[in-house]
Each structure stands twice: as C-alpha cells, then as structure tokens.
Chains A and B, each alone.
Chain A
Amino acid sequence: MANVVPAEEFAELTGGRVHLLRGGTGEPVLFLHAAGGAGEWHPFHGLLAARGFEVIAPDHPGFGKSDDFPSVEAIDDLVFHYLDVLDALGLRRPHVVGASFGGWIAAELAVYAPHRIGSLTLLSAAGLRLPEHPVTDLFLLPPDKLVATLFHNPPPPAPATGAAPDLDAIIAAYREATSLARFSWVPFLNDPKLERRLARITAPALVAAPSDDRLIPVEHAKRYAERIPDATYTEVPECGHAMYFERPAEFAALVADFLSSHPLVMAESGAGL
C-alpha cells in the first residue's frame, strides 16, 4: 500500500512555474515541505496517501524544480503565493500539513485565510519568536553538525568515495539555502506578529513535535498548541527535527489518524472552484 507512485506536475502562476508531486486518492492534503525535502516523495508521503488521501506536495519558490519567484521576498509574500497555488489547483479548503519551515507557512496561511484551511497540521513548525528558546542557526552549521542537530540518532556519515564533489548538487543546495535566507534571515525564522494572530485560526489543528528537537525547541510547538483555539498537541518519542525522515511510519500514522478524524466538508474542499 505504501508504494503510491506520485505524478509530477507543474502549476503555472503569473510569476512562474510551481513544481509539485501528487499521489493517492481521497481528500486533498496540501503538504508544505521543510527547508530540506523539496521535490522528494518520501515513504511518509506514500504511507499517508495509502491511508486514503490525495497528497499534493509543491516545491516552495526557489526550491526543487519550482521557479525562483523573485518577487516572493518574505513570509507574507509566501502566504499570497500559496493562496495562488490553492486557486491554481482548485483547492477550496484542503487539509494543510506543514513541516518546520513549511509549518510556518501553513500557520500563516491559516491566520490570513482561515476559510481556506480544512484542517491544519504543524510538524515542529518554525515561525514563532521565543527568545528564551532560540532556534539553532542552521545557516552557520557545517554539514556534519547539521546532521547531528537534525536527528535523534544521526545516521553514520556516508563513506568517502574520493569522487569529486558534485558541483551541480552544491549549487542546487546553495540555491535552496539562498531561498530560505531570502524569506527568513531576519527576523530569523519567525514573524513577531504571528503568535498574537493565531487566535484567528478556525480549523482543527494538530501540533506535533519530535521529543528531541535540537533545531526548534519543543516549546515552540507547545506555544502553538496553546495559542491555536482548537489544537491537539502530540510528541513523537526518540526522534529529532528530521521527523518523518527519522520516523516515517509514526509520522504518517499520526497525521493520517488526525486527518481521518477531521473529515473535510466535501462541498467546500473543492475539486474545482
């Protein structure tokens, strides 16, 4: 059941093309990826789709195979960008699931346009400013320390192959880091106004955090759960910020159970506006 093969699509917007993967049938789930994970159909996505959902996973502006959209400069622009994406895909009120950086976008989207969100799932979302629980500066971490920060049990380093570094891969990674920095260098991965706006969210929300999050302290997820009116808080044990990269089955089950217990009002979820 887990091997749902996604279709690859491009959505044409005014400012460029959005690349997305789409797999499964059922209620639509817009999945917003983290700083890593653009363009990847991970076992997590397959498992979620196999539970009876149509998972739609676009790449953010400047990530994966999506265009740069240079006029998308900050989090508010991302909100309008994703409203355009919802319109282009004919999604009136889907489930929205966001991980980390994508969770921040999801939360903002739910604040700006509560009527467009069927349910909201935040997986260790960025976006809040909690000076007493600062987010680790991932821009300053060398690759080995980044891996050690993201995982509860970091995978062993890949054996050195002696091959020349893949220049294209380095450039692609730098492009994605540049896009992330464009949106979130300062304020660093937060919107100072977001916390007080969370009360606007009307959709039922699942706020999930890995127990051992060394990038975004779990206090962020707890604060989200406190401030969103209809939120449920859950922790996944023995897991780091990599979340579904570290524990795909647990995260897929957690999200699928929540979505299943909060069915969309079908007339509103929209295939077609």
Chain B
Amino acid sequence: MKFSFFHLMPYPYLPDDFDERYDSTALTYPNANFSPALGASLYARYLDELEYADQLGFDGVAVNEHHQSAYGLMPSPNLMAAALTRRTSRARIMVLGNAIGIRGNPLRVAEEIAMLDLMSGGRVDSGFVRGIGWEYFGHSINPTKSRSRFNEAHDLILKAWTSPEMFSWYGENYEYRYVNLWPRPLQQPHPPIYIPGAGSTETMKFCAERRYTYMSVYAPTRIVRRWFDGYRDAAADLGYEPDPERIAFSVPVYVAETDEKAHAEAQPAVEWLYRKGLKQTAEMVTPPGYMSPGSLRGVLSSGMRPLGGFSYEDLLAQGQAVVGSPASVADRLGKLYADLGGFGQLIGLFAIGPLSHEQVMRSAELFATEVMPVLRPLGVMRDKATA
C-alpha cells in the first residue's frame, strides 16, 4: 500500500451566517469574505504540512485545482507543486489534477508538468480532471464540450510529451501548427497519469485501456465499490488484472491518541467539509451537458443523495471519513480495503476544513508512525510481493 497526503487548501474562515446566506463556498460566494492576510498565512501553513508529510515518509504529497472557491485555494496546482519540488526530497509530487476540461491552452499544461518533472527529478504524477460543474460557469467554458475538451487535451498532452518530432494538431477544440515541446519530461515515456472516476463507465474503460491510476472521489463505500469493480472489469475485458496500485481510494482521515479525542476534534471538521465546503446547488453540480443523459439517469437512479444531508455518524459508517485512534483507523481502513475489493493507494485528506495546524501535523504523524506500518503489506501485486 502506498500513502499520500492530499491537500485541498481550504479557506476555513466562513462567517457564522454562512448556512443561511450563501448557496455555496464557490462561484457566487463573495470574495470580500477572503482576507489576503489570512490567505498568505494559510499558504505558508499548508505548504509546511505537505513538506512535513514528505519528512514523515508519506509516499506522495498531493494537490489539486479549484477555482473561485473557499473549498480549495489552488487555482493553479502546478504553482504549489513547483514550491514542493524544492522543499521535499522523497515523496512523489502528485498533481491530482490539472483541470484540462476548462483550460484554454492544454499545451501549457504539458509544458508545466514537464518542467515540474525536471525540477523534481522525476517525482511528478500527473492527474487530469474535467473540472467540476461550477468551474464551467466560473471560467465560461461550455459544459457541453467538457468531455470532448478533456479527451482532446489529454491526447494532445500525451503526444506533446512523447513525440520525438514536431507535429501539427487539428482537433475539434484546439489547433496548433507547431507542437515542439521544450523541455520534455524526465520520466519516460511520460509521468504516471491519474484520473478520478465518479461512476462513468467511459472513464473506467479509458483508464483500464491505458493502465492509468483510477482514483475515487468522496462517495459511500457501496458506490465506490461499484466504481472499482467497474475498473477491474474493464481491465478483465482487456485481458489483464490491474496492479492494485492503479486503484486509489480517496478519503478524509483523522487520527488522535484516543477515539474520544479523535472524534471530538474531527466531527466539526468533517461536517464543515461536507456541509459547508462542498455546499453547492444542483445547478452548480451538473450544468447542462456536463453529464450525458445516460450518466445522469445512472446517478439519479443510484440513490446518491447530496453529501450535506448525511450525519457525521452516517459519513463514518459509509466510509466517507475515517477517524479514531491509530489502532481504530488501521482497523477501519483494513475493513474498507476488504469492502472495496482492494486498492493499492490511499489518498488521505488530512487537513480537513477548520482543523488546526497542530491537529493536522499530529494526525499525520500518528498515521505515518502507527497506521502505515500496519497497512503497508496490503494492496501489493502478488508477484511483486513474492519477488
């Protein structure tokens, strides 16, 4: 099992009347509520946390991209990754990912990831995401083109990284007469690729065909199980069994010395994440065309409910947060491993909403020293384990 420390870089200082006054932390939440002074100290703090995770022995430190939102303060994950290249030494630097569905110029992403790969000595993992619904409003990108833009940007970036010669590109969304990437990435043929899945069978097949890492987004265990099985089935259809490391389970994690302390501290943070951080209207989640009619039908009939409607206890029971003493967390993750049919990577969200810096550092330390060793043997390819 490999473990990464994932950061959303939330802006936790919401006003007391947030619930009544605002539909969301994103898109329409006024930026008058952002304090630049607090923002500056948050960035310093959050980078310290990611750097500490590297020192603690996490296999990866992970950042992602969100726009116009207090949920996550990283419009440019590549900037954060650049900062991490100089202050970490062992961990993979995981950009999970660049929102290539909403980028105007995907060639820029190919260039920046190549730079990061060189700067980090080949430690970069490159995630690609479509960008979530509200970002299609925020960046004025037509959501009906989301899938097409994502697919084309992916194909272009891969070709730009790997083509030994200059080429031209004429696509539905992009046209380039000269693609001639300088610099090229260090890892060959290119940095490993991560793609998040949320139920789309097209995405499962896309990842299985290319042996990309398929990562879950926050959802109840029974639903994530269906996604992971879908990826495994897609691989089986192609005639292979996926390396467990290609399946990554994402979950918020909080560890304290005792169960009582852990729950007392984590409950407000987990509730913040799901009720405030992720608060958004149906219109923001699924702008028109963002989903295909078939996918929408699948989601509506799967009985998925808005995340904000669940109690803390529900979220724990459904595997949407893992909280407790080191022994309880190891035990719970072991059970989730079994319930999900196995996975080889755990992408843990340790800095949950309004947790303090000290709480996050202590939780990460307890996880690294007491939980990781217990889980380490899980999720390893059989022939690797015996090799």
Give the B-binding residues of A (Cβ under 8 A): 137, 139-142, 165, 167, 170-171, 174-175, 177-178, 180-182, 185-186, 188
Contacts and interface: CB of A to CB of B under 8 A. Distances in A.
A174 B296 contact: yes
Interface of B is mostly: helix
B137 A178 contact: no
B301 interface: yes
B283 A142 contact: yes
Contacts of A142: 281-283
A170 B291 CA distance: 13
Given A140-B281, A178-B289, 19 more contacts: A137-B137, A139-B287, A139-B288, A140-B28, A140-B137, A141-B283, A142-B282, A165-B300, A170-B300, A171-B293, A171-B297, A174-B288, A175-B293, A178-B288, A181-B287, A182-B144, A185-B136, A185-B144, A186-B142
A141 B301 CA distance: 23
Contacts of B281: 140, 142
A177 B288 contact: yes
A267 B102 CA distance: 52
Interface in B113-146: 136-137, 140-144
Contacts, number: 55
A180 B296 contact: no
Nearest to B134: A140
B338 to A, nearest CB: 34
A213 B286 CA distance: 27
A185 B283 contact: no
Given A167-B297, A167-B300, A167-B301, A181 B284 contact: no
Nearest to A187: B140
11 contacts: A140-B28, A170-B300, A171-B296, A174-B291, A174-B293, A174-B296, A178-B288, A182-B144, A185-B140, A186-B140, A188-B140
B296 A185 contact: no
Contact of A140 (B141, B284, B293): B284
B139 to A, nearest CB: 10
Nearest to A186: B140
Contacts of B140: 185-186, 188
B300 A185 contact: no
* 8 tightest Cβ-Cβ pairs between the two chains A and B: A177-B288, A181-B288, A178-B289, A185-B142, A178-B288, A182-B144, A186-B140, A181-B144
B172 to A, nearest CB: 10
B6 to A, nearest CB: 29
Contacts of A178: 144, 288-289
Nearest to B143: A181
A241 B149 CA distance: 34
Q: Which of A170, A171, A181 has the most chain B CB within a 10 Å cutoff?
A: A181
A255 B297 CA distance: 40
Given A139-B283, A142-B281, A186-B141, A181 B289 contact: yes
Interface in B242-261: none
Interface string B300-344: 110000000000000000000000000000000000000000000
A44 B380 CA distance: 68
Interface string B354-385: 00000000000000000000000000000000
Contacts of A170: 296, 300
Contacts of A165: 300
Nearest to B284: A140
A234 B155 CA distance: 53
Contacts of A171: 293, 296-297
B318 to A, nearest CB: 23
Contact of B137 (A139, A175, A177, A182): A139
A53 B143 CA distance: 40
Contacts of B283: 139-142
A141 B287 CA distance: 11
Q: Which of B281, B282, B289 has the most chain A CB within a 10 Å cutoff?
A: B289
Q: Which of B136, B283, B287 has the most chain A CB within a 10 Å cutoff?
A: B283
Contacts of A174: 286, 288, 291, 293, 296
Contacts of A167: 297, 300-301
A139 B300 CA distance: 19
A149 B361 CA distance: 49
A171 B288 CA distance: 11
B289 A182 contact: yes
A167 B300 CA distance: 8
Nearest to B296: A174
Contacts of B282: 142
Nearest to A165: B300
A30 to B, nearest CB: 26
Nearest to A140: B283
A180 B288 contact: yes
Contacts of B28: 140
Nearest to B291: A174
A186 to B, nearest CB: 5
A167 B281 CA distance: 19
Interface string B139-178: 0111110000000000000000000000000000000000
B75 to A, nearest CB: 19
Nearest to A185: B142
Interface in B11-67: 28
B284 A182 contact: no
B142 A181 contact: yes
A241 to B, nearest CB: 18
Nearest to B27: A140
Contacts of B287: 139, 181
Nearest to A170: B300
A12 to B, nearest CB: 24
Interface string B63-89: 000000000000000000000000000
Contacts of B296: 170-171, 174
A186 B301 CA distance: 31
A177 B28 CA distance: 21
